[in-house]
């Protein structure tokens, strides 16, 4: 079966949507208030938590065939992303509503300002007409006075009058004309002052209109961006829901294969247990042989003493070696990778998320980058070097450490990218035996390390050096 490509959302890229969200956050900082900021912080925190949980989930899927693990992880990604996208959509809709309210407010203010501009322009134009008419009338009065010379004075009226009554009439006419002329001049000055004030107001309104137009353009741009953000999220949610349905269908189809894989994991674990039991059996036989030879040497020494009558004894038992690493030593095991250790999946019963069942995880998984060296936990003899494929374990090294502090130890290193030792080779503690990889049924590079003591697995993290 062809390998599937890792799932990718068909919606906008996270970086593109992140940049847009950042722009919206800046533009709407005063509109959406602190609640939206807090919501975005919560979403970022949730995203970080999801990434950590995904790493843990990937470790739980160790031993699962990669295609099935990919489908399950993709479905898990979708199910984690979907509620986050829905929350982001709610935030985007709030921001869109705030942006639209702001844009409407700016448009209202712009409309009021433009109405004021129109009114002032009309009033100024009307008053300019009155000023023009008044100036024309004043000009006519001036021309008439010029044509009449200086005869329009009070003295000329006295001399020109036929009698007192005629003087009174002519003087009254003259005074009325002068008052009318002064009033016209006063009205002209008032109209000019009023228009000067209106022009200043018009200039201010015109400036404000320019500012409001810029603000309105920005508000429309922010609203459009918020609207696009919401539309993108709606599209992403719809795609996520479609992908969720598709992945769930694929997963259901692959469940039967998964049952077979669990059986393969258990069979591989049984095979390792049988092999380690055989190593222990040979160790016990070697130990019994060493004890038998030591007893024979002691018996021979006693016989020699009796035969020679030499009470000083010659003897002693020189140490002997035997096959494998059948020697006894003291000390403690060290981790296969440098401290500090980061456990991605611990030793013990492991929950399998696809079926909800449990199986025994016989080792501990440690974080380690692809290609990092792994070292022998103690001195010993390499009892097995198995290249992938060899079941679910990938490239595997097994080291027999013999007896340490009275107990028999064997360590196992799985999923190596390549080997640095060969079968039968003697190794010292801390010597590189291979390099971190992702061979076998795993979801990524990591260390899988097992410690077998007297034929049974133990939790490596309980050892003193860990």
Q: Of 241, 276, 311, at which residue does a domain stop?
A: 276
Examine residue 285 and state whether it is found in any structural domain, yes or no: no
243 and 339 together in one domain:
no
What pLDDT does 28 receive? 40
Highest mean pLDDT among 269-273, 343-347, 378-382 belongs to 378-382
363 and 433 together in one domain:
yes
Q: Which residues contact 441 (CB under 8 A, 6 or more apart)?
A: 62, 63, 64, 65, 66, 69, 261, 265, 392, 394
348 and 461 together in one domain:
yes
Tokens, residue 52 = 């950590």
17 and 120 together in one domain:
yes
Examine residue 156 and state whether it is found in any structural domain, yes or no: no
Q: Of 215, 248, 276, at which residue does a domain stop?
A: 276
Length of the chain: 466
The CATH number given to whatever domain includes residue 38 is: 1.10.287
Q: Of 276, 302, 337, at which residue does a domain stop?
A: 276
Examine residue 401 and state whether it is found in any structural domain, yes or no: yes
Residue 237: pLDDT band (50, 70, 90) is: confident
State how far the Cα of 241 lies from the Cα of 246, in Å rounded to an integer. 9
- Assess contact for 334 and 377: CB atoms under 8 A: yes
266 and 133 together in one domain:
yes
Examine residue 149 and state whether it is found in any structural domain, yes or no: no
Residue 100: pLDDT band (50, 70, 90) is: confident
Task: List the domain range (segments joined by +) for residue 17.
Answer: 1-144+179-276
72 and 185 together in one domain:
yes
Examine residue 155 and state whether it is found in any structural domain, yes or no: no
In the predicted model, what is the mean pLDDT of residues 281-292?
Answer: 80
Whether residue 461 is predicted with pLDDT greater than 90 in this model: the reply is yes
Strand 364-366 and strand 343-345: pairing?
Answer: antiparallel
Q: Which residues contact 173 (CB under 8 A, 6 or more apart)?
A: none
Examine residue 366 and state whether it is found in any structural domain, yes or no: yes
- 116-140: buried (b, 16+ CB within 10 Å) or exposed (e) per residue? bbeebeeebeebeeebeebeeeeee
84 and 205 together in one domain:
yes
Least confident piece of the model among 56-70, 87-101, 372-386, 399-413? 56-70
Q: Which residues contact 403 (CB under 8 A, 6 or more apart)?
A: 283, 287, 326, 327, 328, 329, 409
State how far the Cα of 466 lies from the Cα of 386, in Å rounded to an integer. 26
344 and 224 together in one domain:
no
pTM of the model: 0.46
Alpha-carbon radius of gyration of the chain? 49
82 and 183 together in one domain:
yes
Phi, psi of 297 (to 5 degrees): -65, -40
25 and 99 together in one domain:
yes
Examine residue 309 and state whether it is found in any structural domain, yes or no: no
State how far the Cα of 45 lies from the Cα of 29, in Å rounded to an integer. 20
The CATH number given to whatever domain includes residue 388 is: 2.70.70.10
83 and 6 together in one domain:
yes
- Which tens digit of pLDDT belongs to each residue from 380-398? 999 999 997 766 889 999 9
- Give the number of domains in the chain: 2
Examine residue 462 and state whether it is found in any structural domain, yes or no: yes
Residue 136: pLDDT band (50, 70, 90) is: confident
């Amino acid at each position: 079966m062809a390998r599937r490509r890792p799932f990718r959302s068909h919606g906008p890229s996270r970086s593109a949507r992140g940049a847009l969200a950042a722009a919206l956050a800046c533009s709407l900082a005063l509109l959406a208030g602190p609640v939206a900021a807090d919501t975005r912080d919560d979403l970022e925190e949730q995203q970080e938590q999801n990434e950590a949980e995904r790493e843990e989930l990937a470790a739980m899927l160790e031993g699962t065939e990669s295609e099935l693990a990919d489908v399950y992880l993709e479905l898990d990604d979708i199910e984690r992303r979907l509620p986050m996208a829905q929350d982001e959509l709610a935030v985007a809709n709030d921001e869109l509503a705030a942006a639209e309210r702001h844009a409407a407010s700016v448009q209202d203010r712009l409309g009021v300002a433009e109405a004021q501009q129109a009114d002032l322009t009309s009033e100024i134009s009307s008053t300019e007409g009155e000023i023009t008419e008044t100036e024309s009338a004043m000009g006519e009065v001036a021309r008439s006075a010029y044509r009449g010379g200086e005869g329009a004075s009070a003295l000329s009226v006295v001399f020109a009058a036929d009698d007192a009554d005629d003087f009174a009439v002519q003087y009254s006419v003259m005074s009325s004309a002068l008052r009318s002329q002064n009033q016209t001049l006063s009205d002209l000055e008032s109209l000019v002052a009023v228009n000067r004030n209106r022009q200043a107001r018009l200039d201010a309104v015109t400036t404000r209109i320019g500012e409001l137009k810029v603000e309105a353009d920005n508000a429309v741009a922010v609203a459009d961006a918020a609207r696009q953000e919401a539309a993108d999220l709606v599209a992403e949610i719809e795609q996520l829901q479609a992908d969720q349905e598709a992945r769930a269908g694929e997963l259901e189809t692959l469940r039967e294969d998964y049952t077979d894989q669990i059986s393969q994991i258990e069979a591989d674990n049984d095979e390792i247990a049988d092999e380690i039991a055989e190593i222990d059996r040979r160790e016990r036989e070697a130990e019994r042989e060493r004890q038998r030879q030591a007893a024979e040497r002691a018996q021979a020494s006693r016989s020699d003493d009796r035969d020679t009558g030499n009470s000083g004894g010659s003897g002693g038992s020189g140490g002997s070696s035997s096959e494998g690493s059948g020697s006894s030593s003291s000390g403690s095991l060290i981790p296969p990778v440098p401290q500090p250790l980061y456990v991605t999946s611990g030793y013990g019963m492991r929950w399998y998320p696809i079926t909800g069942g449990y199986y025994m995880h016989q080792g501990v998984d440690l974080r380690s980058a692809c290609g990092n060296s792994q070292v022998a936990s103690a001195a010993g003899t390499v009892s097995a070097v198995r290249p992938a494929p060899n079941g679910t374990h990938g490239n595997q090294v097994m080291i027999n450490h013999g007896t340490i502090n009275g107990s028999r130890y064997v360590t196992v290193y799985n999923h190596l990218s390549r080997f640095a030792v060969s079968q039968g080779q003697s190794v010292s503690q801390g010597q590189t035996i291979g390099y971190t990889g992702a061979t076998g049924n795993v979801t990524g590079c990591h260390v899988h390390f097992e410690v077998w003591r007297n034929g049974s697995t133990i939790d490596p993290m309980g050892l003193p050096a860990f």
